[in-house]
Structure 1
């Protein structure tokens, strides 16, 4: 099987073949590797009208954003959610005429809802069973827009007044559903990242494209995309707490504030190796790579602890700090190499993993291996 037989290629051919259907938006999407866990590369986006520009302007801005997203090399399958605008019948009520005839809006609403919808009256016994009494206009009398005008509403004197005496109907195009998000009129958009790009790249690209929309339009993330945005800035805090935990543990172990600092000096080399390895293989700075960075902090500190332990004992025997450090490095060089090689070979299956879920395994394995090599 070649590239033309991949799931993405098949989905693109299906979309192209069904793009001529004018009555629907049709998208072919690959299912997630693990059902019920959502789409790993998808995003949920809400375009908001914060400037009060109106529905038509919001629709135009959405279509403009979809057009720009279709030309993006990072985004794939960007599509609107919900129902599109459709023809509707608008009942235009002349308030002055209705008031002159003594017809209230409550009476108009009751007449329309009862005739076109239904209205529950009561229950009555029939053959030992209770049956519901529901009032509704006959089907043939509620099929056309003009049937609205033939309905009667009771005025304040209790006399029936036809709606045609104070109302008219006309066809308009309008939204089939209205959506508000955080108090603003909004439209839902979802999409995916193209192969080779992370969800973070897709979110950043959507933000860049949304910034090109006219004034008065903004956006919000929802679902997993919102959670990803909120958690994106916590990595620095997590790294800081990891270093602090290691520092305090070493300070309690050696009863010194300076020895933990010398142990942690090796951590930047491990992080540098992880970053270089990820860049060489073209992996993004995603959550899996960050997990590998946290792992590298502990593994890199472990190698330094092996040297510090021996150097501390040699210094207690009367040697200078420099001589103790050099001799400890010579003595522990082979054990450090052996343990590092064992760990590197242990994560090698992650680096070359394939199949479902292999992207996360390769991202973690590559960062950890690169960090161990340099640390």
Structure 2
């Protein structure tokens, strides 16, 4: 078997294609009896995943354009915001090319997500210009007035949404490297769309939109318009009812905030979802001290079962090359449409393979991203360290027995192998010296007999062969054969080995593992169906505290360690994203209060995202957490559109805060619904999880869809309530400040 691995920084698909081309060119030079088969090709699953993401991107484009048409009911008006899509994507591709980014799963997913967001600014611009057209203005004047009126709103929406991804760029570790290109891609797409909405969209509106009096509408237009007007009337009546009961709305908001905290505890936590790449890795293990022949026989029995499984396409089975009592399996499954999902295949194969007596088989679906750790038989690792080897080994065995009893773990195993049968040889140095035999001679004789000493090389015209010196296999397996070994003393006599050394049967370790220069034992485990990594980590830590003494240090390694680090880093990232948006909004509005009103919808977004994950029994993984962070930038769009209009009505029309915000909600209802539906349709295909790699994308889509659907509905009512309360609070503090400034000069006089 020949294993080929790409160098860091190179493209997997390009390397795989080059290898295939090279193999094809060499196949003509191989003998006819030699057949070359590919056991595992990572580029195949990458091709499938990229193709499926491209299909998802196309479906998303169609859904978003359909939403725009349903609301605007006009082909030319639909094309205007739709043009923001290709311009944004082309501009993003340009930046990706300049930064030497590759078109991978994450960058394509970022483009897919951005499809639902990049049209938002163009929709808001178009809708406002159409509103001015309905006032009787000419297209050119309507475009100028509408763009001037809504320009600051679009600028606020664009900059605040882009600011969400600034903390992602500063994030270190595996998560930072993973999502760096994702953040840049979606951030650039949003910035380009904002620029297009402020420049190209008004120009197209001035050229291609016609005044309502010049348009002739059919029955379908009138029917859909009646539906919209009824919806608007229902919203206005329900909003008036809520505004008359503002304290009840605050109580409801507090309840949602408390429920969000409860859901955060209840939702299972995970790291990176496992992808079905059509590959399964396995490790087999027999009793300590098993011979190579015994291990080979058991391995062949396991291979026989695999060869008859209908889900298995090809597999590789090997023993040796490492620990003598362990073997390896590399299983390549059939295409997706001809087999069960990889996780189900593992659950189906486990009882079959473990029915073979004398051998234990551990199967696992390889992680999509490998994160450090030592090679182990199962996926997640927990390492114990201590300078006291005896205490370490005793307590490791106790902890292993305790972990085997946990229902949240399965396939608990260890790398501790200290019961390997061995023959201990004790040299009588005084007697050996008296007989003229040195310790070095004894060691050389044992190595000649049981080692693999190369004593010569035979050269032929086409090859060379090593000559290995060792005992025949039947003598190697028999400890009494030591009596047949003789040593030549300095006087030339042959001295029996048993006359200068005594042999005794014993057990000992196959190896002594170290971590950080200290002896260590690594326990590893898999997760049963329905159990999250977060729950398993908590259970392991709890049992370890109850079982182990303080002299033994513990810690997770590999994927489990990266999971722990990600939980702390992502929580800080979410907080930092909120702070960054607050600062950006504070600069734009020159106020400390209005950003609070805009961000008041965040708890509802978090509640919707967590509730959706809980209902669909999906873990709060890294992808889902990134979706929650994206929601921080998305949910404030409704509030920005409302507050900008309300502030303008207060300043220019002299309306009260209550009347201004109610009018803003009514006028902005159409663009709010359009942008919300466009964002939902843009994320829905990802939430469904179509195609290869859909398992990893689905949590992000579910979080965004759930958070948007719930928060965008509730903020239509809660944001006006918060706006009026904070406005009252601001005026109250303003009066106190003015009163204090008047009293100070009076006191001085």
TM-score (norm 1): 0.76
- State the partner residue of 1:348: 684
- State the partner residue of 1:61: 398
CA distance in 2, matches of 1:128, 1:366: 66
CA distance in 2, matches of 1:253, 1:101: 96
Q: Which segment drifts farther, 304-313 or 142-151?
A: 142-151
Q: Could you report, residue by residue, the CA deviation over 1:151-185 in whole angstroms, capped at 9, with x for unpaired residues?
A: 45677999875432332112223333332223343
Q: Is the 8 A contact 1:292 1:367 kept in 2?
A: yes
User: Alpha-carbon deviation of 1:32?
Assistant: 5.2
- State the partner residue of 2:651: 316
Change (3 A) 1:333 1:121: same
- State the partner residue of 2:536: 202
Change (3 A) 1:169 1:20: farther
Residue 231 (structure 1) aligned with residue 566 (structure 2)? yes
- State the partner residue of 1:273: 608
Change (3 A) 1:308 1:90: same
Q: Which segment drifts farther, 198-207 or 91-100?
A: 91-100
Question: What secondary structure does 1:266 align onto?
Answer: helix
Question: What secondary structure does 2:389 align onto?
Answer: coil
Q: Counterparts in 2 of 1:1-375, with a 5 A limit?
A: 11-12=346-347, 14-27=349-362, 29=363, 31=365, 43-48=379-384, 50=386, 51-53=388-390, 57=394, 60-61=397-398, 63-65=400-402, 67-69=404-406, 72=407, 74-80=408-414, 85-94=419-428, 97-98=431-432, 105-119=439-453, 136=469, 139=472, 143=476, 144-148=478-482, 151=485, 162-215=496-549, 217-317=552-652, 319=654, 322-323=657-658, 324-353=660-689, 357-372=693-708, 373-375=710-712
Question: What secondary structure does 2:635 align onto?
Answer: helix
User: Alpha-carbon deviation of 1:274?
Assistant: 1.9
CA distance in 2, matches of 1:127, 1:360: 55
- State the partner residue of 2:19: none
- Structure 1 residue ranges without an equivalent (≥5): none
CA distance in 2, matches of 1:271, 1:205: 26
Change (3 A) 1:138 1:25: closer
- Structure 2 residue ranges without an equivalent (≥5): 1-339, 373-377, 713-749
Q: Could you report, residue by residue, the CA deviation over 1:126-156 in whole angstroms, capped at 9, with x for unpaired residues?
A: 9999999978455489533244455456779
CA distance in 2, matches of 1:31, 1:52: 33
Q: Is the 8 A contact 1:102 1:157 kept in 2?
A: yes
Q: Could you report, residue by residue, the CA deviation over 1:238-293 in whole angstroms, capped at 9, with x for unpaired residues?
A: 11221233223323333444433332222222222222333333333322321221
Change (3 A) 1:17 1:223: same
User: Alpha-carbon deviation of 1:300?
Assistant: 0.9
Larger proportion of strand:
1
CA distance in 1, matches of 2:487, 2:395: 37
CA distance in 2, matches of 1:270, 1:367: 9
Number of residue pairs matched by the alignment: 363
Q: Is the 8 A contact 2:683 2:705 kept in 1?
A: yes
User: Alpha-carbon deviation of 1:187?
Assistant: 3.6
Question: What secondary structure does 1:282 align onto?
Answer: coil
User: Alpha-carbon deviation of 1:331?
Assistant: 2.1
Q: Could you report, residue by residue, the CA deviation over 1:20-72 in whole angstroms, capped at 9, with x for unpaired residues?
A: 54432124x3645979999xxx7331442525335762563364145324xx1
Change (3 A) 1:158 1:236: farther
Q: Is the 8 A contact 2:411 2:526 kept in 1?
A: yes
User: Alpha-carbon deviation of 1:92?
Assistant: 2.3
Q: Which segment drifts farther, 168-177 or 357-366?
A: 357-366
Larger proportion of helix:
2
Q: Is the 8 A contact 1:263 1:304 kept in 2?
A: yes
CA distance in 2, matches of 1:130, 1:351: 59
User: Alpha-carbon deviation of 1:322?
Assistant: 1.5
Q: Is the 8 A contact 1:150 1:162 kept in 2?
A: yes
Change (3 A) 1:149 1:44: farther
User: Alpha-carbon deviation of 1:305?
Assistant: 1.4
Q: Could you report, residue by residue, the CA deviation over 1:51-98 in whole angstroms, capped at 9, with x for unpaired residues?
A: 5335762563364145324xx1x3233344586843222212345555
CA distance in 2, matches of 1:287, 1:271: 15
Q: Could you report, residue by residue, the CA deviation over 1:86-129 in whole angstroms, capped at 9, with x for unpaired residues?
A: 322221234555566676544433332244325567889x9999
Change (3 A) 1:154 1:273: same
User: Alpha-carbon deviation of 1:6?
Assistant: 7.7
Question: What secondary structure does 1:312 align onto?
Answer: helix
